[in-house]
Structure 1
């Protein structure tokens, strides 16, 4: 059985989701690198890293779930 027929979604939609995921991970990595290059101690960088991780992957989850 074809999984695209079962879910009712076209392969193009699947590639769109993969592209969004790749873009989100790229943006997340760029933000993390920028935070680490900004200097400061780990106590200053950790909250920023946690916040960007939660926001980026929260948005990615919302896109995948269709919320």
Structure 2
């Protein structure tokens, strides 16, 4: 989990609280990375997704909830 403030997109929804996150301002980011089975003709073996959170508390709450599943 790292603080971020520079993005090209304008906003996203915080996965923890549902509030809009202004990606041009201070927010936190979680990077998800996992192996994937490539389809026929594909060489992609990793899948990466970035989630934007409005603050550290939301990012931590989401990570804690995910760890308990």
Q: TM-score range, shorter-chain basis?
A: under 0.3
The structure whose RCO (Cα within 8 Å, separation 6+) is larger is 1
Calculate the TM-score normalised by the size of structure 2: 0.27
Calculate the TM-score normalised by the size of structure 1: 0.28
Greater helix percent: which structure? 1
Higher alpha-carbon Rg: 1
Greater strand percent: which structure? 2
